[in-house]
């Protein structure tokens, strides 16, 4: 895409990447764009750590006898996979990388409201990550990412308290980031940028931030209670100490279900940017897409009991939570229909970000629809804690959230680095990821229906065929994730200059800011006179 017309962009110009050099200029930066890159490096590291654990698990499951790993090792691997991917990759991925980079640029601000607090968030995040890595290296933790009591408080032998403290500490990073974003979005919008002119990415980041500051304190409290019981035998959850193990599940899922929407809402925001740009059309039904984010965030706090349909919760509680869980499906469906309708009569092009966006819509649709099986009481009883659940939430988390994240990274990469990556390789990688993903996780729906429980390193032989298919898919998926790592790093040095707006996209970050943006983002404060997605 590099043409002679873009050549003048190459001439030397001060931007956020070259206005200062040296390790100190990065570790002490308060520039939201540099902090975003610090997060990018960190979450990429955690993604491949969590991914390596998944690869070992899938290899172990090639044989029903699980001959590769000891059960204790396998248990530590899936626990680490869950904790790392949920708390240290998915939760920060879109908000802390793309959100940090884009929110000020999209709303025409110089930085977030509290730049130093923003840097502190990253340090807290890294401290939490370091504590977790200590827990892993010092012997691991074998409770699963759900830390169910009394297993975690009285029986598990791993470094439960250290892992819980890693989660506890990193939660404050999310709280501070959420706070920062909310204030930024309220107070720092450019003149003329009213709420209904905001890009939908901002709406979804706002909804996400609200969940951060409301849900993260609950997991922090829960982790402290867990540590108190484990260290000092204060009877809170363990019935032999006079506690109630179900109380833990209520607390954990009161945080945990909003948390899973924290993981998907930001990617939904990314898709709402990509589809209009590559269709050259306004988003279909702006206000419906915007308010569906708010509705999802609100209802997400009222559905936690659907994790407990077989835990001994009362039948009536089950009914209420089932109904509310169905309710949360509606705003998700509205989003999918509106994205699809946006393509209608558009001018659709298929650069790599759009392929990720289409992949997202398809996989999120399948993940969302299979959630109905789990919201419905009678079928959930059979499917709960089986591979069906694993397949369902990986379609949402990996097929949805990770596809959206990668789509966003590919879309804004020219803005972040000023360089283009090879589009052919990027489209190839998107295809490999899509195929590998489906081959990995579709067989798991069938496995779950057949009754294979999750967290089983050893399993009955009749489940082997489907497990082999899944492992084959996982190896394709793993390669699919490594390809972008290679060409994106390559492009930082060798990629052709991107120019200010290689996609012809709307939005302040494309129309008013250079690529890469100068340290202060805009030479003068932009004034907004039109709605978002004003493509024709």
Partner 1 sequence: MWHGFPLRPDQISTIAQGVDHLYYFLTAVDLFFTAGIFLTIFYFAIRYRRRSEDEQPPRIEGNLALEITWSVVPALLCGVMFVWGSSLYIRNSRPPEAATEIFVIGKQWMWHLQHPEGPREINELHVPVGRPIKLTMTSEDVIHDFFVPAFRVKKDVVPGRYSTIWFQATKTGRYRFFCAQYCGTFHSHMTGWVEVMTPEEYEHWLSGGVKTESMAAAGAALYQQFGCVTCHGTGKGPPFTNLYGNPVKLDNGQTVVADDAYLRESILDPSAKIVAGYSPIMPTFRGQISEEQILQIIAYIKSLSTAEGKK
- Give the footprint of partner 1 on residues 365-404 (CB under 8 A): 365-366, 369-370, 372-373, 375-382, 384-386
Q: Are 122 and 223 in contact (CB under 8 A)?
A: no
Q: Decide: residue 477, CB within 10 A, 0-12 exposed, 13-18 middle, 19+ buried.
A: buried
Q: By CB under 8 A, which span of 131-139, 448-456, 486-494, 512-520 interacts with partner 1?
A: 448-456
Nearer to partner 1 among residue 69 and residue 190 (C-beta): 69
Q: In this structure, are residues 163 and 141 in contact, taking their beta carbons and an 8 Å threshold?
A: yes
| CA angle centred on 267, ends 265 and 273, rounded to 5° | 110
**Residue 504: CB atoms within 10 Å:** 11
Please give the distance of CA 366 from its chain centroid, rounded to a whole number. Answer: 17
Supply the DSSP string of 492-531, one letter for each residue: HHHSPB--S-TT---SHHHHTS-SSPPTTS-SS-----S-
Q: Binding of partner 1 at residue 327 (CB under 8 A)?
A: yes
Quick one: which of 195, 196, 344, 494 contacts partner 1 (CB under 8 A)? Answer: 344
Using CB under 8 A as the binding rule, the residues of this chain from 281 to 300 that contact partner 1 are 281-282, 284-288
Q: Residue 244 CB, nearest distance to partner 1 (Å)?
A: 8
Distances (CA, A) of 530 to 200, 284, 342, 522: 15, 16, 19, 18
* Minimum CB distance to partner 1, residue 110 (Å): 32
State the minimum distance, in angstroms, from the CB of residue 451 to partner 1. Answer: 3
Site for partner 1 in 79-98 (CB under 8 A): none
Subset of residues 397 to 436 that bind partner 1, contact rule: CB under 8 A: none
Interactions with partner 1, residue window 471-500 (CB under 8 A): none
Q: Quick one: which of 9, 30, 340, 475 contacts partner 1 (CB under 8 A)?
A: 340
Which of the stretches 28-36, 92-100, 171-179, 344-352 binds partner 1 when contact is defined by CB under 8 A?
344-352
Closer of 100 and 325 to partner 1 (Cβ): 325
Least CB distance from residue 108 to partner 1, whole Å?
A: 24
Residues numbered 199 to 218 that lie near partner 1 (CB under 8 A) are none
CB of 142 to partner 1, least distance (A): 7
**Residue number with CB closer to partner 1 (361 or 429):** 361
- Site track 127-166 with partner 1 (rule: CB under 8 A), x = hit: ---------------x-x-x-x-xx--xxx----------
Other Cβ atoms less than 10 A from the Cβ of 382: the count is 13
* Residue with Cβ nearer partner 1 (71 or 217): 71
Nearer to partner 1, 122 or 411 (CB): 411
In the complex, the smallest distance separating the C-beta of residue 26 from partner 1, rounded to whole angstroms, is 38
Backbone angles phi, psi at 419, to 5 degrees: -125, 155
Cα–Cα distance, 417 to 130 (Å, whole number):
28
Which 3 state secondary structure label does DSSP give 451?
coil
Q: Which is nearer to partner 1, 102 or 161 (CB)?
A: 161
Q: Which of 29, 42, 75, 204 binds partner 1 (CB under 8 A)?
A: 75
Give the one residue of 10, 28, 72, 317 binding partner 1; rule: CB under 8 A. 72
Q: Which two tokens stand for residue 467?
A: 């497990």
Backbone angles phi, psi at 386, to 5 degrees: -110, 180
Nearer residue to partner 1 within complex by CB, 134 or 449:
449
Nearest Cα to 214, choosing from 267, 164, 259, 169? 259
Residue 331, both tokens: 């705003």
Piece of 95-103, 110-118, 195-203, 316-324 that binds partner 1 (CB under 8 A)? 316-324
Q: Which of 66, 92, 128, 171 binds partner 1 (CB under 8 A)?
A: 66
Minimum Å gap between C-beta 200 and partner 1 is 13
The stretch among 41-49, 70-78, 194-202, 207-215 that binds partner 1 (CB under 8 A) is 70-78
User: Is there a contact between 243 and 237 (Cβ–Cβ < 8 Å)?
Assistant: yes
Pick the closer one to partner 1 by CB: 215 or 226.
226
Residues 223-282 that bind partner 1 (CB under 8 A): 238-240, 244-246, 279-282
Q: How far is the CB of 226 from partner 1 (least distance, A)?
A: 14
| Tokens (6 digits) for 293 | 């984010």
Distance CA 403, CA 409 (A): 10
Q: How far is the CB of 281 from partner 1 (least distance, A)?
A: 5
Q: What is the DSSP string of 85-136?
A: IIIIIIHHIIIIIIIHHHHHHHHT-SS-S-HHHHHHHHHHHHHHHHHHHHHH
Alpha-carbon span 460 to 161, nearest angstrom: 34
Residue 195 interacting with partner 1 (CB under 8 A):
no
Phi, psi torsion values for 74, nearest 5 degrees: -60, -45
Name which position in 120, 221, 468, 476 contacts partner 1 (CB under 8 A). 468
Nearest distance, CB of residue 70 and partner 1, angstroms: 9
Q: With contacts defined by CB under 8 A, how many residues of the chain interact with partner 1?
A: 95
Decide: is 326 part of the binding site for partner 1 (CB under 8 A).
yes
Do residues 90 and 108 lie in contact, with contact meaning Cβ atoms separated by under 8 Å?
no
Number of neighbours of residue 347 by Cβ within 10 angstroms: 11
What element of type H or E holds 71?
helix 71-83
Beta bridge partners of 497: 419
Which of 45, 48, 425, 449 lies at the binding interface for partner 1 (CB under 8 A)?
449
* Least distance (Å) between residue 355 CB and partner 1: 10
CA distances from 379 to 290, 370, 374, 388, 482 (A): 32, 11, 7, 11, 37
């Amino acid at each position: 895409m590099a043409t002679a017309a873009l050549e003048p962009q190459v001439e030397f110009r001060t931007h956020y990447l070259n206005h200062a050099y040296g390790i100190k200029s990065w570790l002490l930066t308060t520039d939201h764009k540099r902090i975003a890159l610090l997060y990018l490096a960190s979450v990429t590291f955690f993604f491949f750590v969590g991914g390596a654990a998944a690869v070992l698990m899938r290899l172990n499951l090639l044989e029903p006898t699980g001959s590769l790993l000891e059960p204790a090792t396998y248990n530590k691997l899936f626990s680490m996979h869950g904790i790392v991917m949920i708390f240290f990759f998915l939760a920060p991925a879109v908000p802390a990388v793309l959100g940090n980079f884009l929110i000020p640029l999209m709303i025409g601000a110089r930085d977030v409201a509290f730049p130093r607090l923003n840097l502190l968030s990253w340090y807290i995040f890294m401290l939490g990550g370091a504590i977790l890595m200590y827990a892993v290296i010092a012997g691991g933790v074998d409770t699963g990412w759900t830390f169910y009591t009394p297993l975690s408080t009285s029986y598990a032998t791993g470094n439960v308290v250290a892992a819980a403290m890693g989660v506890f500490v990193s939660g404050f990073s999310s709280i501070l980031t959420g706070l920062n974003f909310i204030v930024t979005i309220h107070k720092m919008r450019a003149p003329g940028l009213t709420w209904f002119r905001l890009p939908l990415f901002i709406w979804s980041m706002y909804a996400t931030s609200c969940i951060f500051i409301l849900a993260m304190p609950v997991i922090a409290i829960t982790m402290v209670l867990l540590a108190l019981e484990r260290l000092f035998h204060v009877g809170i959850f363990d019935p032999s100490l006079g506690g109630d193990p179900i109380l833990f599940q209520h607390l954990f899922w009161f945080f945990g279900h909003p948390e899973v929407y924290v993981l998907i809402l930001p990617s939904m925001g990314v898709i709402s940017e990509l589809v209009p740009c590559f269709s050259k059309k306004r988003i279909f039904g702006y206000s419906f897409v915007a308010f569906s984010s708010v509705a999802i965030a609100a209802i997400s706090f009222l559905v936690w009991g659907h994790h407990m349909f077989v835990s001994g919760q009362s039948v009536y509680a089950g009914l209420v939570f089932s109904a509310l869980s169905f309710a949360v499906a509606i705003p998700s469906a509205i989003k999918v229909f509106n994205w699809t309708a946006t393509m209608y009569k558009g001018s659709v092009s298929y650069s790599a970000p759009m392929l990720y966006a289409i992949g997202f819509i398809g996989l999120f649709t399948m993940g969302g629809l299979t959630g109905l099986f789990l919201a419905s009481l009678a079928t959930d009883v059979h499917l709960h804690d089986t591979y069906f659940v694993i397949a369902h939430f990986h379609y949402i988390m990996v097929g949805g959230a990770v596809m959206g994240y990668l789509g966003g990274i590919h879309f804004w990469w020219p803005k972040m680095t000023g360089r283009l990556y090879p589009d052919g390789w990027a489209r190839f990688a998107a295809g490999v990821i899509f195929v590998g993903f489906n081959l990995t996780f579709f067989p798991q729906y069938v496995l779950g229906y057949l009754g294979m429980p999750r967290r089983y390193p050893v399993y009955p032989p009749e489940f082997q065929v489907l497990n082999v298919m899944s492992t084959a898919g996982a190896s394709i998926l793993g390669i699919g994730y490594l390809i972008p790592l290679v060409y994106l790093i390559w492009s930082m040095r060798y990629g052709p200059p991107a120019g200010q707006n290689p996609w012809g996209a709307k939005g302040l970050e494309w129309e008013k800011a250079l690529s890469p943006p100068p340290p202060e983002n805009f030479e003068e404060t932009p004034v907004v006179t039109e709605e978002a997605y004003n493509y024709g």
